[in-house]
Amino acid sequence: MLCFPNAKINIGLRVLRRRADGYHEIETLFYPVPLRDALEAVPAATTAFHLSGLLLPDVAPEENLVWKALKLLEQTYTLPPLAIYLRKHIPFGAGLGGGSADAAFMLKLLNACAALRLSDTELEALATTLGADCPFFIRNRPVLATGIGNRFEPVDLSLKGYTLWIVKPDVAVSTKEAYSWVKPSVPSVSLKELSARPVAEWKHGPVNDFEQSVCRRYPVIGAVKAQLYAQGAAYAAMSGSGSSVYGLFDKDVQMHFPGCFVWKGKLD
């Protein structure tokens, strides 16, 4: 059985307040996009996990969220022996949710392979234990995410017809450090309200609170965003805490970003 875990982009990301437990309350819009990994499970004599593609250096396979998702289900359910193959195409450290998507799709894949008959609500509860944004990829539809990024409200948002460019410079941004650089504040207008406006008006609307401080420390990220706008992007922003930047275009353009991961696709 084969599936294709997809990435997400953040449309705006507001850091509202720091909680007593050290986490931060946020407000952001998650939007699924068709940049995908490939995940396959096939019957085997013994369970094994095989990784290829864009990989984190020096990270053991058992630390991968796909393997952790399998082990999570094994605590409660009997699973058949499977050979699991994950081909990574979504870059890591990009703010695109690739690892979370892989984990959520693994839960869905095992649910089907082992005929567990778990509902989406049950799968979301399991995914929550693997990561705050993992449950998003169970239903995989645009949502307003609040709390620590783990409370979801569906939103009526479609970017169909836009061409999406995703560009990730060869830099890594520590999420922990990125939070330490931001001064939390509550905006006067919610992202849900801003996102209801035409995309052409978003340039001065949905804001990513991480951008200013991250771009100050990593100017290449700001340079990528500037180039996207210079080429006619209707909206461009950093996703998550970086380091990827995306641009939405209503026309075809040709661009080059030497030394960067680049992906281009039509949204439907």
Out of 8, 88, 108, 168, the active site residue is: 8
Torsion of CA 10, 11, 12, 16, to 10 degrees: -60
Active site residue 8: yes
Q: What does the alpha-carbon distance between residue 151 and residue 132 come to, in Å, rounded to a whole number?
A: 9
Give catalytic status of residue 133 as yes or no.
yes
Concatenate the DSSP letters of all residues of 157-181 into one string: ---TTPEEEEEE-S----HHHHHHT
The DSSP-derived string for 178-245 is HHHT------SS-HHHHHTS-GGGGGGSS-BTTHHHHHHH-HHHHHHHHHHHHTT-SEEEE-TTSS-E
Active-site residue among 88, 102, 108, 133? 133
Q: Rounded distance, CA 194 to CA 205, Å?
A: 6
Residues with catalytic annotation?
8, 133
